[in-house]
Amino acid sequence: MTFGHAADVFRQRIQGDASLKPRTKEYYEQRIVALLKSWPGLAEMELRRITKADCLGWASRIGAAVSPTAYNHTISILRGIIELGVECGARYDNPARFIKRVGERRKKLQLPDFDQFLAFVAEVESSGSGFSEPCAELVRFLAFGGFRKMEASFITWGDCDFTKGKIVVRGDPETGTKNGEFREVPMIPEMRQMLERMRSERAAETAETGVMRVHECQKAMDRAATVVGMQRITHHDLRHLFATRCIESGVDIPTVSRWLGHKDGGALAMKVYGHLRDQHSVSMAQRVTFGRASAPNVITLREQEAIRG
């Protein structure tokens, strides 16, 4: 059995796995292609002839060329394909097990402050492009709701409940959201104002019509970031911006986690945004005092009644 034959079997299993979403299957295919490209002649090699030295040599060559995440995922695929050879009796061990995974550092969040964000969105909206207004709407929508880009593309007017002030996130009609469950996200004041204006301007659209008229605007965002002199941000960074603003406004992390669609009770959100809670805690602590001189001016109930007349 050659590595190429084993890779074909691996592909068939991935494509036949009903638990995997289409985008996950696409990512597996991208990594397999990248693996074969980075290791010339691997597809034609017999599995039994692949050695520990071969695997470690490949790992040393590719390690500096890809991100830690891509590196680790590619290693897993290499191990998985060779393991098929072990399963079929083509060899007795898996030499790829000697390749060590590398640590994956989380991206350092460099998000715009309040004034930068306003200038950023205004620049997107005034770019002069025929899609400038829809692009600005998408930027605000992602930032005001914390949606993933793909989730936002499937939200319809029927999902926007103006009476209860919430938006239902269902995800792809076939595969659902990333965790397979729909969720409800409350409309913050800016979101409600924007959606009410958009709905009044597009009153003829049905409940099945998508709220967003464009589904991505990275080029427009890159240009606007350059013009206003801020760090480049992605669609997913707008999701981080939503979570950051919520926590800085005093919303507890478990609640923010539910709004984001996490199922871990806030564990992931704590890793990503926990430092914000700590900063907020330190800031709030400065308001606590035992000294009379700096104590807040407290108005008694009787004084309040007197003021009201």
pLDDT digits (tens, 9 = 90+) for 89-134: 999 999 999 999 988 766 677 888 889 999 999 999 998 888 999 9
- Centroid of chain to Cα 234: 10
Cα torsion at 246, 247, 250, 254 (round to 10°)? 100
Above 50 in pLDDT, residue 303? no
The pLDDT of residue 304: 45
What pTM, to 2 d.p., does this model score?
A: 0.69
- Mean pLDDT for all residues in the chain: 86
Q: Look at residue 22 in the predicted model and tell me its pLDDT.
A: 84
- Which is higher by pLDDT, 289 or 115? 115
What are the φ and ψ backbone dihedral angles of 203, each rounded to 5 degrees? Answer: -60, -25
Cα–chain center distance at 185: 16
* Fold exhibited by the domain 114-285: hpI Integrase; Chain A (1.10.443)
Position with higher pLDDT, 75 vs 290: 75
Q: Name the pLDDT band for 146 (thresholds 50, 70, 90).
A: very high
What 286-289 contacts at long range (C-beta under 8 Å, 24+ apart), as own/partner pairs, is none
pLDDT at 301: 43
Q: Which CATH architecture has domain 3-98?
A: Orthogonal Bundle (1.10)
CB 50 within 8 A of CB 95: yes
Angstrom distance (rounded) from CA 145 to CA 186 = 8
Per-residue pLDDT, averaged over 144-173, amounts to: 93
pLDDT at 84: 93
pLDDT at 190 over 90: yes
The DSSP output letter for 299 is P
CA-to-CA distance for 245 and 116, rounded, in angstroms?
14
Structure confidence at residue 103 (pLDDT): 84
What CA–CA distance (Å, rounded) separates 63 from 179? 31
Q: Is 50 left (phi over 0), alpha (psi -120 to 50) or beta?
A: beta
Confidence at 299, pLDDT banded by 50, 70, 90: very low
What percent of the chain is predicted at pLDDT more than 70?
82
Report residue 124: phi and psi, to 5°: -60, -40
- Find the mean pLDDT for residues 216-226: 96
Mean pLDDT of 224-251: 90
Please say if the pLDDT value at position 30 is more than 80: yes
Give, as one character, the DSSP assignment of residue 48.
G
Question: In the chain, what are the domain boundaries?
Answer: 3-98, 114-285
